[in-house]
Chains A and B, each alone.
Chain A
């Protein structure tokens, strides 16, 4: 249940950030969004989920430290990533098959104490 509580706290923080960002922040970092309000509620679910990223991007754009080359595809790592996936995905699948519970190993019910 503590996981559920952590999730709730995360979403509450996200809700607070969504209110401030969508009301005051968005127009300052994106001039195309200025005076455009109708679409902003649509962003609420996304902000709830990725608010740390929103905060970070908000900070970077506010400081004017945006580097355009971040959009360049990180091709240099592509081959290594592909190779990793080729190894990791089958390993995950095989591990899942090995550790999963076996329904055929279940025992039938056992009467411990007959009714009084």
Chain B
């Protein structure tokens, strides 16, 4: 007498009678389960915001290398005179290398626009095609530096390029490794405040002396922290001169 054969499902074969009900219910649970899990996952994600690449741009302006390279626009087809633009390089790199030796000069910048709310940025083209001293150095622009006092701010330390739209999301724990790599590559750290200071929630970070602060903030990227420091307005960009010893992680 032969042993009864247990029904066995093979994808290309005919479905055994005994397995039909099981397969139908399993498929239904799977489909409904995917829908529920997809909805639950997507509905609990933070909005990635409006940051994005916005096409080719060029601008002439005054370059400021401290704490990180920024451009105060004199004239540009895409930016308004007086706009302050955070510069970055290609990939996970800042603009220090390209900006070297050009601090305070009138420069011509070209690249791709990055935009998120009040934060304007540009990913420079490589080499001197992206940033070079302008032939006409006679142009000038008065860049106002306004003291806004000492603040205690809660929020998140991000890299200024991804935050600006190079990555979506450019904030949050999921972006922590990328933010750390970008900062290591020289991209400017930007503090995303829980509320606005003088009309902006994005603050370019620097040390107490107004110099780059990357090493001191690397361990605190993409998590919520509280930090104290002096806030200054350089053109239309806020610079947050933090006291690194005041950084504390919010529990």
Beta-carbon contact of A111 and B224 below 8 Å: no
Q: Quote the shortest CB–CB distance from A104 to chain B (angstroms).
A: 10
Q: Quote the shortest CB–CB distance from A101 to chain B (angstroms).
A: 5
> A101 with B149: in contact, given A106-B154, A106-B224, A112-B228 (CB under 8 Å)?
no
> A114 with B155: in contact, given A100-B173, A103-B46, A109-B195 (CB under 8 Å)?
no
Q: How far is the CA of A109 from the CA of B193 in the complex (A)?
A: 7
Q: Which residue of B lies closest to A113 (CB)?
A: B150
A-side interface size class: 10 to 19
SS of A interface (majority): loop
Size of chain B's interface in residues, with CB distance under 8 A? 23
Q: Which residue of B lies closest to A109 (CB)?
A: B153
Q: Quote the shortest CB–CB distance from B147 to chain A (angstroms).
A: 4
Beta-carbon contact of B193 and A115 below 8 Å: no
Other-chain residue from A109, A112, A115 in contact with B194 (beta carbon distance below 8 A): A109
Beta-carbon contact of B148 and A109 below 8 Å: no
Q: How far is the CA of A105 from the CA of B193 in the complex (A)?
A: 13
A108 in the interface, Cβ–Cβ < 8 Å? Answer: yes
Chain B residues, Cβ within 8 Å of A106 = 154-155, 194, 224, 250
Q: Which residue of B lies closest to A112 (CB)?
A: B150
Q: List 8 extra interface pairs beyond A109-B195, A112-B151, A112-B228, CB under 8 A.
A: A100-B173, A101-B223, A106-B154, A106-B155, A108-B195, A109-B154, A109-B194, A112-B150
